[in-house]
Structure 1
Amino acid sequence: MRRIVVLCCQLLVLGLTQGCQLSVQPIATPQLPDLGHTDNSTSFVVPQLEEMYRLSPEQIAELTQFTLREDIALLPKQKQAYEFLKSRLVNFDFEGENYFASESLALGRGNCMALAMLTYAIARELDIQINFQVMHTMPILLDVSGKFAMTSDHVRSFLFQEVSEEQTTYLWQRDRIVIDYFPDRYDRGGKMIDEDEFFAMFYRNLAADSMMVGEFEYAHLLLKRALELAPDYAPVINMLAVASRQLSDNRLAEALYQYGLQVADEKVTLLSNYHVLLTKQGRDQEARQIKQQLLAYDDQRPYIWYLQAKDAMAINDFESAEVYLNKFLENTNYYHKAYFDLAKVQLQLGKPYKAKKALDLAISYSSSSENKGLYEAKLNWLSSL
C-alpha cells in the first residue's frame, strides 16, 4: 500500500599536504530531478496562493464590522480573530473537504487544513503574525482504494500579539493564542513550519483529492507547485513520485525517491515506497538493501511506524510488522490497540509468551470495557492452549 500521508551543513575534508595546507572538498548539493512531465490540456489550472486565502469583499466587511463592536474593539488583535472564529464555528460542519478560506467561511464547513487556511486569511486581514505547527496524531484513515491509503493531516495555528519596536522581539515571549480544531490526548507537537510549507501542505491535500479520482496529471501539476515552495518536504516528494508512477514514469519516481532520501528529514515513507517500486521492478537485491535501511531507521515520530506496521500486516510480513510496532511503542507506550496488533503478530511468529505480555499491556492501557473484553477473551484463549 503506497502511503500518501534547513540547516545546510557542508562537510569539510581535512588533509595534510606539503606545506601543511588545508584542503577543503565541498559536498555537492542534491539536485532536484527534472520534473519534465507536463500536461498539454488547458482544463487543469493550478490555483494561485491568493485564491486559497482571499476573502470576499462581503466577508472582509463582516470581519471589519465584528472588530468594531464595543465588546471586541478594545481586545488585542489576536483575540479579536479568535472571537470571530469562535462565533462562526458554533454550527460548523467539520468534514473532510479542502475548501479555500472564502468557501469554508461561506459554507460553514471544512477539514483541518481548510480551517487553518481560514485562520490564516483572517490573520492577514487583521495584520496578525501567524505560525503553524505540525501535530503528530494517531492517523485517521480517510479513504482506501486498491492503490492508496489516505490519512488525515493536523496542524495548529499560533496567533501572536503585536509588539512595538521597544518591546521584545523574541517570538515565544509574546502573548499568543493557540487555535487547534481537532485536539486529542494522543497528539504530540511536531516542528513549526513556515508559510511556504503550509501552502505546500495544502497543495498536497488538493493533489490527494485528485489522485483519489484518477486525475494524476492534475495531481502532478499541483505537487510540482508544492515542491517549488518546499523542495525538501518529504510528503510532497513522496506523493509526486507516486503520481509519476501512475503516469508510467518510473524513472522520475526513482529519481524523486533518491532525491528525497538526501534532502528530507522524514524518510520512512520514502524508503517504504521506494522498496515497493524496486520490488515491482524485480530488483530484489536493491529492494532488500532499502528494506534493511527502513528496518534500521530511527524516527521519533511514532505514528508513521504504526502505519508501516499495518501495511506489513496486510501482506503477512509479520517479522517487519513486529519491528515497526516495537518502534512505535518505544515512543507511544500507552496506545492499547498497538499492543493488540503486536500480540496478533507475535502469535503468527510463534511467540505465544510475548503475545500474552502484549495482551496484558493492552488490557492495562485500555479504558474501554468493550476493548478490555476483547483483549481478555483473547488472553484467556491463549492461556488455555
Structure 2
Amino acid sequence: MKTYISLIAGLMALTACQSAPKPELTYDYQSLLIAEPGFAGDITPVETEQQIYALPEQVQSELQRILHATSGITERSKTLLRYIFTFAHDELIYDNSATKTASETLAIGKANCLSLSILAYSMANEVGLKTVFQDVAIPEYWTSEQNTTWLNGHVNLRIVQNTLPENHSGVILFGRDIVVDFDPTILKQRFSTTQLNKQRVTAMFYNNKAAEQLNSSEDAQAYQYYLAAIDIDPTFAVTWANLGVLYRKYGLDQYAEQAYQHSLKLDPTSLNTMSNLAYLYHRSDRQHEAEQLMQHVNQARKNNPYYYLMLGNEALRRNDTAEAISQYEHAVRLDRNNHEAYFGLAKAYFQLNDTVQAERYLQRAKRTAPSDQDKEQYQRKLTSLLQVASVH
C-alpha cells in the first residue's frame, strides 16, 4: 500500500472473527476507559441481553406448539427450519447493514447475519434444541459507509443433532448437524468455523450497534455500546480496537494507542488493529514503527482481492479515478469472478463518461454475481445506464 489513506476514516470491525482461546486479562482494563469523555450526541439506555434475544409472545406460543407436537431432535429441528423459512418466504431479508434484536428482526423483516443467527438461536432455544453460534472464517472483507470503512465478519448457527439416550451406556447417537445461514454463498464455500459463546455474540451485537451510531455521529451513544460490550465480554479484542478508533477521532491519541495495544494483547494476529495502530504512529511522526507494522500487514494482504477492492472504493470516494481503476484491476487479476470489482470498474468508467466501458464491466458484474438478487440489481443498473447513454 502506497499510503495510509484507507485508514484515515478508521477501519472498524463488524461481527469480526476471533479464533483464539479466551486470553486472561493481565491488568485492570478500567484504566483504558474515560469517565467523562465528552463525546457528541445524546445517550439512551442500550438493549439488555434479555431484550436482544427475546421473542414476541405469539411466536413463543407457536414454538411451544412445535415443541409439544414433535418428538426427537431431528423431527423438531426440521419442523423448526420449516417454521423459520415461512418468515423467509414472507420477505425476511438478509441485509448486511441492519443489526436488530430478535423481535425487531421479525417486525422489520430484514437483518444481518448476526441478527438472523440470534433470531434462529432464540427460536431453537424455545423448543429445547442445543445450538452453537459459529464464527465463519471468511477472508478479510471491507465495506464503506459515509466516512468509515468497516471490516466485516460472518456468523451463523449450528443446531446440534448429537444425542444421548435416556438409558445410555456412554454411546452417543450422532446425527448430522444443521447449519442455519441466510447467506447461501457462505455455505457453498465451506469456510472453517469457530464456536462462539453467547457473551461473545452479544458483544458483537453491541459493536455493530456502535457502528450504526458512529455513522449517525452519535458518538456518545456508540461509547455506551462499547462499554456494554466490555461489560459482558472484556476479552473481545475487536471492541478495544473499535474503541481506539473512537478515541482517535477526538484526538485522544494516548488512549487510542493503549486501546490498540490492549486489543493486540488479546488478539496478536489482527491485521485490522495493526493497520489502525500504524496510522496512529504515522500521524504522530513515528514513521519507523508505522512502517514495521505496515510491512507485516501488506505482506499478509497482498493476495487478498478484497483488500484491493477496498482500496479501489476508497480511491473512488476521493475522486481518484485512475487509482481506483488500478486497484479494481488488481482485484480482478487475483479473482476473475469478483463481481464487486467489476462493478467498481463500471462506476469508475461512468465517472469518466465512458459508458461503453461502464456497460462492459456491468455486464461482467452481472455474469459473475453469485445470487439472483445481485444479478437483478446489476440488470437494473444496466437498464438505467443504457437509458442515460441513449439520452446523450
- Structure 1 length-normalised TM: 0.68
Q: Does 1:134 align with 2:135?
A: yes
Q: How does 1:1-385 map to 2 (within 5 A)?
A: 1-5=9-13, 6-7=20-21, 29=26, 32=29, 34-38=31-35, 43-69=43-69, 76-94=75-93, 95=95, 96-135=97-136, 136=138, 139=141, 141=143, 143-145=144-146, 147-150=147-150, 153-161=153-161, 163-164=163-164, 166=168, 168=171, 173-184=174-185, 187=189, 189-195=191-197, 196-297=199-300, 303=306, 306-307=309-310, 311=314, 335=338, 367=368
Q: Determine the C-alpha separation between the residues in 1 that align with 2:329 and 2:266.
A: 26
Change (3 A) 1:8 1:116: closer
Distance (Å, rounded) in 2 between the aligned partners of 1:296 and 1:102: 43
Partners of 1:293 and 1:307 in 2: CA distance: 18
2:210 & 2:182 partners in 1: Cα distance? Answer: 23
**1:274 Cα deviation after fit:** 1.4
Q: 1:205-248 deviations in whole A, cap 9, x for unaligned?
A: 11111111112122122123323444443432221111222344
> Which structure: greater helix fraction?
2
The one-letter code sitting in structure 1 at the alignment partner of 2:112 is N
Deviation at 1:178, TM superposition (A): 1.0
Once residues 122 and 91 of structure 2 are traced to their aligned partners in structure 1, the CA distance between those partners, rounded to angstroms, is 17
Of the two structures, which has the highest relative contact order with CA contacts closer than 8 Å and spacing of 6 or more?
2
Query: How much does 1:155 deviate?
Result: 1.6
Flag the 1:297–1:259 CA change in 2: closer, same or farther, 3 A. farther
Contact residue 142 and residue 149 of structure 2 kept, 8 A: no
Q: Report the Cα offset of residue 291 of structure 1.
A: 2.1
The 2-side partners of 1:293 and 1:87 are apart by 47
In 2, distance between residues paired with 1:122 and 1:44? 28
| TM-superposition CA deviations, 1:174-208 (whole Å, max 9, x none) | 43111110121685524323222222211111111
Q: 1:335 & 1:273 partners in 2: Cα distance?
A: 26
Unaligned runs of 5+ residues in structure 1 are 11-27, 343-362, 371-385
Distance in structure 2 (CA, Å) of the matches to 1:257 and 1:325 = 32
> Which has the higher mean CA deviation after the structures are superposed, 203-212 or 258-267?
258-267
- Identity across matched positions, percent: 21
Specify the code of the residue in structure 1 equivalent to 2:164. Answer: S
**Is the contact made by 1:134 and 1:191 (CA closer than 8 Å) also made in structure 2?**
yes
1:308-336 alpha-carbon deviations (Å, 9 max, x no partner): 675578787x99x9999989977x67547
Over 3 Å counting, the alpha-carbon distance change for 1:256 and 1:200 in structure 2 is: same
The DSSP-based 3-state class of the residue aligned with 1:154 is strand
Deviation at 1:301, TM superposition (A): 7.7
Q: Deviations over 1:275-314 (max 9, x none)?
A: 2222233333332233223223479987457536755787
Displacement of 1:57 after TM fit?
2.8
Contact 2:339 2:368 in 1 (8 A): no
Q: Contact 1:130–1:159 at 8 Å: present in 2 too?
A: yes
Q: How many residues align?
A: 333
Cα-to-partner distance string for 1:4-37 (whole Å, 9 max, x where unaligned): 2344899xxxxxxxxxxxxxxxxx9476462331
The Cα of 1:258 is off from its aligned counterpart by 1.4
Amino acid at match of 1:46: V
Contact 1:241-1:253 within 8 A present in 2 as well = yes
Secondary structure of residue in 2 paired with 1:164: coil
Distance 1:188 1:299, change over 3 A: farther
* In structure 2, distance between residues paired with 1:312 and 1:260: 28
Is the 2:158–2:177 contact (alpha carbons within 8 Å) kept by the matching residues of 1?
Answer: yes
Q: Which runs of 5+ in 2 are unaligned?
A: 1-8, 14-19, 346-363, 370-374, 379-392
- The alignment partner of 2:265 has SS state of helix
Q: Is the 8 A contact 1:254 1:274 kept in 2?
A: yes
Amino acid at match of 1:194: L
Aligned-partner Cα distance in 1 for 2:265–2:78: 42
CA displacement at 1:51 relative to structure 2? 1.1
Structure with max Cα Rg: 1
Q: Name the SS for the 2:110 alignment partner.
A: coil
What is the distance in 1 between the residues matched to 2:316 and 2:278? 16
**How many Å separate the matches in 1 of 2:278 and 2:185?**
33
Q: CA RMSD in A?
A: 4.5
- Answer whether contact 1:295 1:324 (CA < 8 A) is retained: no
Contact 1:154 1:182 in 2 (8 A): no
